[in-house]
Amino acid sequence: MTSEIQQRLADVQAEIAAACQAAGRSPDEVTLVAVSKTHPAEEVVTAFEAGQVDFGENRPEEAVEKIAQLKTLQPDAGLRWHMIGHVQSRKARLVVGRFVLVHSLDSMKLAEKLSRLAQEEALTLDMLLEINISGEQSKYGFEATKWKNSRSVRESLWDDIQSMLNMPGIRLRGLMTMAPIVEDQELARPVFAGLRELRDTLRQEFPQSQWDVLSMGMTDDFGVAIEEGATLVRIGRAIFGPRMVR
Ligand SMILES: *Cc1c(COP(=O)(O)O)cnc(C)c1O
């Protein structure tokens, strides 16, 4: 078990390095977030012992429990936790102060709630805007499918972003998206390219923020995501194997 996770981790790191090289990028530009959802805390320890420090979870309750277990198992580990899944606003309190980055800021309502909670705790939370580029109904995120062609889509998104930039306690660091599940990762490329173009545009529209993080790419499509500029990839199955039943 142990060696299996460590071997897979090494394979993923090698694939990331190869994708960076092919794209003429430095591997230092890409952070690997190991997505441990459904897997027990012991497997996180195994990956940590192999040098992995950034971990992602997609459900607040599961994450809170695992973070507490890790504190017991590895008190000095200095693990960095990322919230990558939808946070219902009634669960918002669970993510405050526990994560280095919330990738899934997907509504104004959640932004307002997190801003308020962060102020109560005198914290500033780093976040990514989750963007729905693919247009799939099933996806969370700010609607931006037609941002290039539709003035009204842009205006609405720009208004929301301006409001969030004015909210105390939250700091927008960049964008996150999920590509559709496709057979061939080439089919995900336009989604990733679209997110990068949107990021480049936001850099010009809202220079008060850095927009330096692009969270995109999972087990089946991270190679293409890196070619299209991902600075952070979220990889679960390729490291931990098939997901456990919750
Ligand atoms: C589960 C999950 C991942 C990882 O998916 P894999 O296909 O296992 O690599 C990445 N991002 C989000 C938001 C997820 O929920």
The pLDDT of residue 2 is 53
Question: How many A from CA of 208 to the centre of ligand 1?
Answer: 30
Low-confidence ranges of the chain (pLDDT < 70): 1-2
The pLDDT of residue 137 is 83
> Does the beta carbon of 217 lie inside 6 Å of ligand 1?
no
- The residue contributing the CA closest to ligand 1 atom 6 is 236
Question: How many A from CA of 54 to the centre of ligand 1?
Answer: 14
The pLDDT of residue 18 is 97
Q: What is the pTM of this model?
A: 0.96
> Does the beta carbon of 8 lie inside 6 Å of ligand 1?
no
- The residue contributing the CA closest to ligand 1 atom 8 is 236
Question: How many A from CA of 155 to the centre of ligand 1?
Answer: 30
User: In ligand 1, which atom is closest to the CA atom of 220?
Assistant: 7
Question: How many A from CA of 190 to the centre of ligand 1?
Answer: 19
The pLDDT of residue 52 is 97
> Does the beta carbon of 37 lie inside 6 Å of ligand 1?
yes
pLDDT digits (tens, 9 = 90+) for 166-222: 999 999 999 999 999 888 999 999 999 999 999 999 999 999 999 999 999 999 999
Per-residue b/e over 233-244, b at no fewer than 16 CB within 10 Å? bbbbebbbeeee
